[in-house]
Amino acid sequence: MKLKAVLVPALAALLSLAAAPLAAQCPSTGCPAQTLGTVEVPAEGALVSGYVQVVGFALDGNLVSNVDLFVDGTADQNRVTAPGGANINLPRADVIQAFPAYAGTAGSDPGWQMSFRAVNYSNGFHTLFVRITDVTGCCYFLAPRTVRIDNSRNQPPFGWVDFPKPEGSVQANGVLEVAGWALDDRVVDHVDVLVNKRLERQAVTGIYRPDVAAAYPGAPGALISGFVLNLDSTRMTNGVNVIDVIAVDDQGQKGLLGTRRVQVFNNSPNLPPFGEVEYPLLNSTWFGNCNFVYGGPSGGDIVDPRFVMWVSGWALDTSVVQERGGVSHVIVEIDGVTLKDSRINCHREFALNNRLVDCYGFYRPDIEILYPGFQQAPNCGFSFAIDVGYLITQRSFREGGHILQVKAADKEDQITLLKEIPITFECSSASLDPPPIAYVDDPPNYKMVNGVYPVIGWALDLDGVAEVHVLIDGVKQVDAVTGIFAAEYGLASPDVGQIYQNYPQSGYARWRFYLDTTKLSNSEHDLLVEVVDGRGNVRSAGTRRFLVDNNTLVR
């Protein structure tokens, strides 16, 4: 916590720093008499280059609406922040602890953060002025800060380690996620993750970070500045392990992004599997042909191959006793009744061109990238084919609501419920409107999103897809880029086309929707995909849960 270190002296000097009355353009009457705040970073007289982070806090009791940075003067032409350029209203529990009178006021999240490019200024001393404006229009400047710019320096890469959080302990399933972002004045070449001062691996870089892009508007790489690496913590010793994350630029210049001391506590002899059910979405409708004459070509449970519904995802396992770990099988249940067990049901399905179905162990190189070194990666995918017409006509499941459960078991028979998915069964022949099927590729389930986020997915309907709508918590959303209440539809989807060959548009079923998450609260939300089909039927095609956090730059 870089900020905590500078805060103590800053607070001591604070009362003498507050509110220099420079603000000619702000109203002077009816404004709070007392204002507090300071520029915490950079320090007075600091030598800076590249992207210069400017960080601090401000309190006047009202909600802050704008924080602006000026260099070498307070006139409009000295202003360097773009409108909305500063990240504001960041929680700062440490500040409120020091000034408890402001707890519960509208301005009780007093942190702010922004940046400017040193290369826009000459070498030598420059003065930074920070103007705080609150929602009532009152404004004031914080005490100015002098820095020395040296543009001949190659700035070391900088950034932040979001996970593990400071003072964190590792989850019981043995996965230690290391994630954050890194930027450089030139280019970040790679990000090294060290465990106990020894290089463990390079992280996967290029992860989408619109929040970082918002805070560094002049940095071309900021939008894809994220990195992630998942480590198998069972390979670490129990007790405190030190994680260092170091970014390296193209000149070999290194920057320490953060150090985390994590308590690894894998005391159970065997840890249960973990993973994700990627398909279907929550609250999907599964439909089948209930008029088909039973007795499919293979005599199996796929009767009408045009109406196959899929359950897919991945599962991995860790184990303290290495040789006994590993996922043994994956089980699909409806309402607690076992439907499929990959150990028993994995087979080549004649009705689906001899495709392997109901199996665990599919190749998932994308998961191996995120979980390198885990046993069974990359062969950790599962996929089950389900014919709802068969279930309704032959297995006595009723039309209507059911609960789908997907479980993974390891070789020691430790079983994890990966996910529970409410699902509706329907006979497509009973209604003249076969329901749409859809998916959200990004964000994945429970991902933290922020800024203007491009939501990507696909949608199909046997009647054709006319429009795809995105609803958040039941409210239809407008695309932040196009201004239209519908997603852009018709992008290439060769992967979908392969699986759903009998659907119209299946090779061009992908959609994209720019969701402005800054208008949503920082909490959990439901993203519902609604499809208008070629005959004008409007139906929901499933829900994705995700988390909005537009304050992820909080230090």
Provide, rounded to whole angstroms, the least separation between the CB of residue 172 and Ca ion.
11
Cα separation of 526 and 349, whole Å?
A: 35
Whole-number CA gyration radius for the chain? 27
Q: What is the residue whose two structure tokens read 């702000």?
A: 26
Nearer to Ca ion, 74 or 319 (CB): 319
Q: What is the sign, positive or negative, of the torsion defined by CA atoms of 302, 307, 311, 313?
A: positive
> What's the min distance (Å) between Cβ of 89 and Ca ion?
31
Considering the complex, what minimum distance in angstroms separates the CB of residue 432 from Ca ion? 9
Nearer to Ca ion, 462 or 548 (CB): 462
Q: How far apart are CA 154 and CA 246, in angstroms?
A: 16
Closest contact distance (angstroms) between CB of 461 and Ca ion is 4
CB of 512 vs Ca ion, minimal distance in Å: 22
User: Per-residue DSSP letters for 295-357?
Assistant: --TTSSS---GGGEEEEEEEEE--BSSGGG-SEEEEEEEETTEEEEEHHHH-EEEGGGTTEEE
* For the chain, counts of helices (H) and of strands (E): 8, 37
Alpha-helix residue ranges (DSSP H) falling in 13-75: 14-17
Cβ at position 134, least distance to Ca ion in Å: 37
Question: Which is nearer to Ca ion, 127 or 537 (by Cβ)?
Answer: 537
Identity of the residue, 211 or 249, whose beta carbon is nearer to Ca ion in the bound complex: 249
Q: Which residues bind Ca ion (CB under 5 A)?
A: 154-155, 184-186, 249, 253, 270-271, 317, 319, 325, 410, 433-434, 461, 463, 533, 537
Amino acid, res. 168: G
Closest of 545, 460, 452 to residue 510, by C-alpha = 460
Beta-bridge partners for 47: 148
Q: How far is the CB of 462 from Ca ion (least distance, A)?
A: 6
Strand 337-341 relative to strand 381-387, pairing = unpaired
Q: What are the strands of the beta sheet with 327-334, ordered from one edge?
A: 284-288, 415-427, 400-410, 327-334, 337-341
Nearest residue (CB) to Ca ion, 76 versus 323: 323
Tell me whether residue 427 or residue 520 sits nearer to Ca ion (CB atom).
427
Which C-beta is closer to Ca ion: that of 141 or that of 360? Answer: 360
Give least dist CB 77 to Ca ion, A.
29
- Distances from the Cα of 370 to the Cαs of 203, 251, 270, 361, 366, in angstroms? 8, 27, 22, 17, 7
DSSP, res 43: P
The residue among 279 and 374 lying less far from Ca ion, judged by its C-beta, is 374
Q: In angstroms, how far is the first alpha carbon of the chain from the final one? A: 7
Nearer residue to Ca ion within complex by CB, 331 or 548:
331
Question: Could you give the angle at the alpha carbon of 35 between the alpha carbons of 32 and 36, nearest 5°?
Answer: 155
> Could you tell me the smallest distance in angstroms from the CB atom of residue 428 to Ca ion?
9
Specify the 3-state DSSP secondary structure of 385: strand
Backbone angles phi, psi at 369, to 5 degrees: -60, -40
CB of 262 to Ca ion, least distance (A): 20
Closer of 62 and 540 to Ca ion (Cβ):
540
